[in-house]
Every structure is written in structure tokens, then in C-alpha cells.
A and B are shown apart, each in its own frame.
Chain A
Amino acid sequence: MINSLDILETINMIDNENLDVRTITMGISLLDCIDDNIDKACTKLYDKICRYAENLVKTGEDISKEYGIPIIHKRIAVTPIAMLAAACPTMNPVKFAKALDRAADTIGVNFVGGYSALVHKGFAQGDYALIESIPEALATTEKVCSSVNIGSTKAGINMDAVAKMGKVIRKSAELTADRDCIGAAKLVVFCNAPEDNPFMAGAFHGAGEPDCVINVGVSGPGVVRAALAKAGDCNITEVADLIKKTAFKITRMGQLVAKEASKRLSVPFGIVDLSLAPTPAIGDSVAYILEEMGLEQCGAHGTTACLALLNDAVKKGGVMASSHVGGLSGAFIPVTEDAGMIEAARSKALSLTKLEAMTAVCSVGLDMIAIPGDTSAEIISGIIADEAAIGMVNSKTTAVRLIPAIGKSAGEELNFGGLLGNGPIMDINPKSPAKFIARGGRIPAPMQSLKN
């Protein structure tokens, strides 16, 4: 029989500590939709997504009700659209984005990811046109998310793509300047992008994935913070153990939901992504976990060490709890989506340079950071190159999701509303890396031995 205290603990986690399954993401391969006639390809794409994901939202709602677990999002990730665009190189790929947006509306999901290109070693047919079209695609659709992989540990960093992405991020913000530059908030630049990530905006369905798959992202920073608060003055070994145990419980819940969704939809189960994904809701913050460990405020000296411990302990707990852990799994540090990070950025306890250091040990990278509107494309490219270098050398995923706040400067605020949150525009170093960025070429792949 189940212990009463365990039951009450679970209910308390859901009711008071924001425990939830953040997303059920269905990955769908569109390789069989490739056609040299873009209109035919769009029709095939729309039909396939609607056919496969017809019951996704309802199934998610049913499971949520039956198990009493909030399942916040139901989403779709598709094959990088650059692979479809390759077959019709003279056409504007934005048509694909519009077809994805229509499909998302029809089936009722709130985001569809995969307006993507993988160019870490160079541009193939379709890649360049797709990247060029990203700003227009993000400005003219609501639910489409885009990502571009510009580097990897095995291939090095494509600096031509880095230079291009600086311009693309700026233009995405400019075209949506009347909507708080939201275009840039739906665009991620990756190094070592995972092919099975269920979280937006960086989700896409990798070429090595099956035809269709269910990936689940669980969350629960509030639960970890509450567990630490209850534990009181224990030493740091005990803190790590406590995080592992909590992560285990959260992931087991995700695994149950993933298995059930997979069974009901007759789609193979892919992975559980155990990521502590904050939301602007009070109590649902990764920064508060770090502060609970003993920092006066997130961003203080010691923050990187606390985050390293948190990220590692979350992975260790999660790996034991699920048969397949994947995606990004760890701790996210998106500034505008995390109440504690927003406060720390406002009070200047948290700077962009500290965030960069934190990304060496977190599970993603520089995420949801508003920067001054007059930041040049070269500076954005410089930030991307730095971040990609951290990922490349450390064999980890890093990402950049920056929002140039067009017409605004440091200290002012951007407000996206909803899960994307709001936050202050952070200071950047205005010195120019323009000459470095203009060189182009590739940073060679790093040594994987002789590591010091």
C-alpha cells in the first residue's frame, strides 16, 4: 500500500510547488514530404502533421485529468525544414513556415519547432535560403519556432554561419519591433544541438529519429527549492543528494506520462528530458534554488559552483528514473522566464559575463536575454561565437537566444507576457569584434584528449 505521507507530498508538489509536465512533444519526420514543388510539399507536410498529431492535445488532456498532473504544453517538432527546402531551392521557404503554422492551429498545439538548419560544417542546398528567410517566417507566423546549429565538438564552429546569425537575430527583432521583438525570442542558435529536445524554441526532429516519436519534458524548480528549504542547514553533500532524490521523483512522473502517451497514441516513446525549466510564476525559479543553497542573490560569486552542482545532481537523479533520458536534461537559466533571474538582472547582481560563465555548467546557454536595441550584428555574432566555443570545447549543448530590444536601451524593459515573461535589457560590452567576425571560415574541431 502507498504511504500516506508520499501521497500528500505529491499533492503538495502539484498544488503548491508548481510541479508539472512541461510538454509532450511529438516528433514527426517530414522526409517523406520532400517535393520539388513547394506547394505539394506544403500540402503533404500539413496533412502528415494533422494526421499524426490529430489526437495529441486530447490525449494530453486526458492523461492530465486521470493522473492529476498538469501537462502544460502539447507541441510538435519536425525535421529541419532546410532539408525540405533543399528540393525547391528557388522558392521562398516561408511557405513552409506558414504551412506549419496552419497545422499547429488545426491540431491545437501552441508551438511547432523545426524551422531549422544544421550548418555546423557548412551550408548545403536549402540551408542558406532557409536561414535568410527566418526573420520573415518568424514575423509572419505565430507558432513556428526556429533554430540553427552552427557548431559541434566534432565539426568545429562555422564562422560564416555565426556572422550570418548575428544579422538574422537583429532582423528578426526589427521585423517584430512592434511586438516587443518577439521574433528573436522564437529563434535559437545552437552548438551541439540535441536531435530529441522537446523544449521550445529549439526543438526539432533530427534525421536519426524514427518516423514519429513522443518526447516528454518535465519541470519542477519549485519542488527542488522547497525540498532544500525544508532540509535547512545541511552540508553540500546532503544538498546534492536531496536534489538527486527530488529529480528522481519528478522524472518518474515524466516517464509515466511519456509511456502512457506513447501507448495511447501508438507512437514509440523517445526520451524524457528532465530539465528544471523555470516560468515567471513566483516559486518556479531556478535562481531561487541557487539562492536557497546560500547565495544572497543569483549572480553572486559562487553562483557557477551552485549551478554546476544543481545541473549534475538533476541529471544523476533523472538518469536512474527513466529508461531513456535525453534532450537537454539539466537546469535552464532563461533570464526573462525566471522571476529570480529577472530580479537579479534588474538589481545588476547578474551580468551577461556571469551568465556566460554559468552556461559552461548549465544545460543550455544564454537564454532569453534582452540586449540594447542598437547592438550591432557583429557583437551578437561575437556573443554567439563565445557561447558556441564553450559548448564545443566542453562537449555540451550551448545555445543563444538573444532579443535585441529595438528602440530601447539598457535598463529599460521588454514584456512578452505569458511563459516568455519579461525582463530588463542587460548591458553588453560595446567593443567591436567586427574584424574577427568578418574573417569567416571555420574554427577547427577541438582536441578531445590532453585535456587540461
Chain B
Amino acid sequence: MNAVITVLGKDNVGILAKVSTECAKVDVNILEVTQSVLQGMFAMIMFVDITKCAVPFAQLVDTLTEKGESMGVKIHVMHEDIFNAMHKI
């Protein structure tokens, strides 16, 4: 099962490192990362495999949301099905 982690906000040093560390802690495997910085605004999209995730998905969402708040960015963790449903026929 795959999920999509998005990080949006002001660019900071170490955002990718901090999010990756949280993922590694709970056996969430990163499949692909794309990121861009436009006019100081940081947008990172991370595709992850949560099949072996050591904690319940809801807990992963909470952990990363809190991590985002502490870094001053907004982190969403969402099941990939939502994007497939909305954007693929």
C-alpha cells in the first residue's frame, strides 16, 4: 500500500532529512521524491510504501503533522487512492 507525503511551506535547511528520518524510524520505504522551490516556497512530494509501517497509519499521520508544525511547514500524509480516484478515469 502506498501513501503520498506532501510538504508545503517556507524553505528550511533539512526538511527532507527530517521527514526521511521519521519515515525510516517506522519502516516506511521512500519510493520517489520530487521537490521544488518556487519564490522561497518549498513543495516536496514523496511517494512511500507503507506496507511494512511499524505503527498504525493514523499514528504516522499524527507524527508527521506534528513534525511539520515544529518545522513551520504543512505536512499531509494521504493514502494514494484519493489521488487516483480524483485524477484518473
* Chain A interface (Cβ < 8 Å from any Cβ of B): 1-4, 6-11, 15, 62, 65-69, 249, 252-253, 255-256
Instruction: Indicate if the CB atoms of B6 and A2 lie closer than 8 Å.
Output: no
Number of chain B residues whose Cβ lies closer than 8 Å to a Cβ of chain A: 25
Q: Tell me if B13 is interfacial: C-beta within 8 Å of chain A.
A: no
Q: Tell me if B66 is interfacial: C-beta within 8 Å of chain A.
A: no
B88 contacts across to A, CB distance below 8 A: 2
B81 contacts across to A, CB distance below 8 A: 67, 256
Which has the most chain B C-beta neighbours within 10 Å: A7, A68, A252, A255?
A: A7
Q: Which positions 11-61 of chain B face chain A at CB distance < 8 Å?
A: 32, 34, 43, 45, 47, 57-58, 61
Instruction: Indicate if the CB atoms of A10 and B82 lie closer than 8 Å.
Output: yes
Which of A8, A62, A252 interacts with B86 by CB under 8 Å? Answer: A252
Q: What separation, in Å, do the CA atoms of A11 and B85 have in the docked complex?
A: 14
Given A4-B34, A11-B8, A68-B77: A249 and B61 within 8 A (CB)? no
CB nearest to B59 among chain A residues: A65
Q: A8-B8, A67-B78, A68-B76 are in contact. List 13 more A-B contacts (CB 8 A).
A: A2-B4, A2-B83, A2-B88, A4-B34, A6-B83, A7-B6, A7-B83, A8-B6, A9-B87, A10-B82, A66-B57, A249-B87, A253-B86
Instruction: Indicate if the CB atoms of A8 and B58 lie closer than 8 Å.
Output: no
Instruction: Indicate if the CB atoms of B43 and A8 lie closer than 8 Å.
Output: yes
Instruction: Indicate if the CB atoms of A255 and B85 lie closer than 8 Å.
Output: yes
CB nearest to A259 among chain B residues: B85
Q: What separation, in Å, do the CA atoms of A39 and B77 have in the docked complex?
A: 48
A69 contacts across to B, CB distance below 8 A: 82
* 4 closest A-B pairs by CB: A68-B78, A6-B87, A256-B85, A252-B85
Q: What separation, in Å, do the CA atoms of A10 and B88 have in the docked complex?
A: 13
Q: Tell me if B70 is interfacial: C-beta within 8 Å of chain A.
A: no
For residue B47, give the distance in angstroms from its CB to the closest CB of chain A. 7
Q: What separation, in Å, do the CA atoms of A11 and B4 have in the docked complex?
A: 11
A6 contacts across to B, CB distance below 8 A: 83, 86-87
For residue B30, give the distance in angstroms from its CB to the closest CB of chain A. 14
Q: What separation, in Å, do the CA atoms of A256 and B76 have in the docked complex?
A: 18
